[in-house]
């Protein structure tokens, strides 16, 4: 198959005469697009993908030297076609009724992926033209990727005609995200996740337009990532095979970036760090009291500096996550040499906690990062945090309101609503969780950069991660993407559309669970995917 110039694929296309209608809000219940776009109009007839469906980029300022758009186009064809056998006889089609392909016009020549990149796109699928092309216009290639994803959702295989169908044509869609940060946390410390599993998670994120993979790499239990500056940290891995090289981390970043997804790396300090000491025992307060990291030892901060120096070569996202949650300082006060250091400094345990977090922040800033910290840091000493701090809310409601009132940015992940490991939390809870609750001033609303669903790994590994993430993460994804006024006020209104998206994920090989229960529920009885 030739991949130079105009990209072609032999699927075929047949066009049926259509009648264009505009859609009122009441007609959105007929849509099966997830997440819901900003604005949509559609018709009530069908097109069929047929003999030469191609990518055309005439008029685009983006050269696609790295092949991001080309690869996305071929991925689009793969997910649209699935494993169906296309049997249309192209010679029987009237050439004037053939959709020849999709034209993508990108206005920016750059494919740099950074926080706040323009993700806006326009998608149209007309019914007239000689020849006829679907059309995507976007400021950046990453907006164009979203347009291709949406186009994939208006296509389906017609078993009667054996061709790919574009239903409800013609389409006109304008779309952009409500929040710039739409995250999913994965945890590779509690259970190791092989690279193919992580890549499948990244692929599934693109279907729902999530754009930040928060990689909680290390924790108390294990330290699976290679740190070239301090190689013995790898001793904290579960086994010699449950490890990531730094080259593999770079591959995850590259893989995600080509799909428009940032990778946010986290090292959680000073707590949750017992695994660090298996390679460097001096990081422990003592062999009997192994965390938080030893605040009195300068070597502790040299190691953090080395880690962040190595991170800066691979993890190019603007932010790094430094944790800072659930710090039990009793090991500091009960260990003689640290207790002596505290007295010398004139610190109590709480002040030492502040000292540690702020020193780690300064190290991160020196490597060019802005910082994300869990909310305990704000709750304990918010006014002392760097103004480049984003506070990550997880404990409950009201925190975001206080954070933005203090002039800091915030990410919302309150555990009662957006923790995927809470299997009793329903998709309706995920859908209804509003990041801007009780935040009414526009300048404060702008400080809530988005939200994140968290897939903590105590009971999660490669065997069950997908059905624990999906479809509940999709409910949060619509909350984070879709304009507030376009969101359903009652989640029941979107049940059918979410079920349709869940079945779409299944068809694409994603093990999404039924919508008719809490997290990771199994089908109750035989029946259609759409009724489960």
Record the tokens describing residue 62, joined without a space: 């983006």
Asked if residue 502 belongs to a domain, the reply is no
78 and 121 belong to one structural domain: yes
CA distance 79 to 409: 37
How much is the pLDDT for 2? 38
Helix (H) or strand (E) holding 156: strand 155-158
CA distance 468 to 346: 47
How much is the pLDDT for 93? 57
How much is the pLDDT for 348? 97
Cα of first residue to Cα of last residue in the chain, in angstroms, is: 40
Beta strands in 51-141 (DSSP E): 53-56, 99-106, 121-125, 132-138
Distances in Å between the Cα of 210 and the Cα atoms of 15, 119, 476 are 33, 11, 9
For the chain, what is the domain count?
Answer: 2
359 and 466 belong to one structural domain: yes
Domain CATH for 146 = 3.30.379.10
CA distance 87 to 497: 29
How much is the pLDDT for 76? 95
189 and 285 belong to one structural domain: yes
Q: Which residues contact 189 (CB under 8 A, 6 or more apart)?
A: 216, 217, 218, 219, 220, 221, 222, 223, 224, 275, 457
CB of 188 closer than 8 Å to CB of 428? no
Asked if residue 527 belongs to a domain, the reply is no
Per-residue pLDDT of the chain (532 residues; tens, 9 = 90+): 333 334 443 343 333 333 333 334 436 668 999 999 999 999 988 888 866 799 999 999 999 999 999 999 999 999 998 887 777 665 665 666 678 899 999 999 999 999 999 999 999 999 888 888 999 999 999 999 999 999 999 999 888 878 888 989 999 999 999 999 999 999 999 999 999 999 999 999 999 999 999 999 999 999 999 999 999 999 999 999 999 999 999 999 999 999 999 999 999 999 999 999 999 999 999 999 999 999 999 999 999 999 999 999 999 999 999 999 999 999 999 999 999 999 999 999 999 999 999 999 999 999 999 999 999 999 999 999 999 999 999 997 899 999 999 999 999 999 999 999 999 999 999 999 999 999 999 999 999 999 999 999 999 999 999 999 999 999 999 999 999 999 999 999 999 999 999 999 999 999 999 999 888 988 989 999 988 8
Of 140, 175, 210, at which residue does a domain stop? 175
Of 125, 155, 175, at which residue does a domain stop? 175
46 and 165 belong to one structural domain: yes
How much is the pLDDT for 340? 98
pTM: 0.94
267 and 367 belong to one structural domain: yes
User: Where in the sequence is the domain holding 154, given as residue range(s)?
Assistant: 3-175
Distances in Å between the Cα of 434 and the Cα atoms of 398, 416, 492 are 12, 12, 16
142 and 238 belong to one structural domain: no
**Residues facing 503 on adjacent strands:** none
Asked if residue 511 belongs to a domain, the reply is no
Catalytic positions, written as ranges: 326
165 and 199 belong to one structural domain: no
Report the SS3 class of residue 132: strand
How much is the pLDDT for 295? 98
């Amino acid at each position: 198959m030739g991949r130079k110039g105009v990209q072609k694929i032999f699927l075929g296309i047949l066009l049926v005469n259509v009648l264009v209608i505009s859609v009122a809000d009441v007609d959105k219940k007929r849509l099966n697009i997830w997440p819901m776009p900003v604005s949509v109009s559609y018709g009530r007839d069908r097109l069929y993908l047929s003999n030469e469906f191609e990518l055309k980029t005439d008029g685009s300022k983006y050269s696609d030297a790295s092949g991001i758009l080309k690869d996305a186009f071929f991925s689009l064809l793969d997910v649209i076609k699935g494993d169906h056998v296309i049997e249309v006889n192209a010679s029987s089609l009237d050439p004037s009724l053939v959709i020849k392909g999709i034209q993508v016009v990108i206005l920016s020549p750059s494919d740099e992926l950074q926080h706040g990149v323009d993700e806006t796109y326009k998608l149209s699928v007309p019914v007239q033209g000689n020849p006829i092309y679907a059309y995507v216009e976007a400021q950046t290639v990453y907006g164009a990727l979203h347009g291709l994803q949406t186009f994939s959702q208006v296509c389906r295989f017609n078993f009667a005609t054996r061709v790919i169908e574009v239903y409800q044509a013609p389409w006109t869609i304008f779309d952009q995200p409500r929040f710039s940060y739409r995250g999913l946390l994965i945890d590779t410390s509690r259970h190791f996740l092989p690279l193919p599993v992580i890549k499948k998670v990244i692929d599934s994120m693109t279907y729902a337009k999530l754009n930040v993979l928060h990689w909680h790499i290390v924790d108390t239990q294990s330290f699976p990532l290679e740190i070239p500056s301090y190689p013995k940290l790898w001793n904290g891995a579960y086994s010699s095979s449950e490890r990531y090289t730094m080259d593999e981390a770079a591959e995850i970043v590259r893989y995600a970036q080509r799909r428009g997804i940032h990778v946010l790396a986290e090292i959680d300090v000073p707590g949750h760090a017992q695994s660090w000491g298996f390679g460097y025992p001096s990081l422990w307060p003592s062999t009997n009291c192994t965390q938080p990291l030893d605040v009195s030892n300068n070597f502790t901060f040299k190691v953090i500096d080395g880690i962040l120096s190595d991170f800066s070569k691979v993890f190019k996202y603007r932010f790094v996550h430094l944790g800072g949650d659930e710090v039990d300082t009793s090991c500091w006060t009960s260990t003689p040499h640290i207790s002596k250091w505290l007295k010398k400094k004139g610190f109590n345990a709480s002040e030492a906690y502040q000292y540690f977090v702020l020193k780690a922040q300064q190290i991160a800033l020196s490597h060019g990062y802005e910082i994300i910290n869990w909310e305990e840091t704000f709750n304990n000493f918010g006014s002392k945090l760097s103004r480049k701090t984003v506070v990550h809310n997880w404990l409950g409601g009201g925190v975001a309101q206080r954070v933005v009132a203090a002039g800091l940015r915030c990410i919302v992940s309150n555990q009662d609503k957006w923790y995927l490991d809470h299997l009793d939390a329903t998709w309706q809870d995920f859908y209804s969780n509003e990041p801007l609750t009780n935040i009414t001033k526009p300048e404060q609303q702008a400080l809530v950069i988005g939200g994140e669903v968290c897939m903590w790994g105590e009971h999660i590994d490669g065997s069950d991660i997908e059905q624990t993430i999906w479809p509940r993460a999709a409910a949060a994804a619509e909350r984070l993407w879709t304009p507030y006024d376009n969101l359903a006020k009652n989640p029941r209104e979107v049940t059918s559309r979410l079920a349709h998206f869940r079945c779409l994920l299944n068809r694409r090989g994603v093990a999404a669970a039924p919508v008719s229960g809490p997290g990771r529920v199994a089908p109750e009885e035989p029946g259609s995917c759409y009724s489960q």
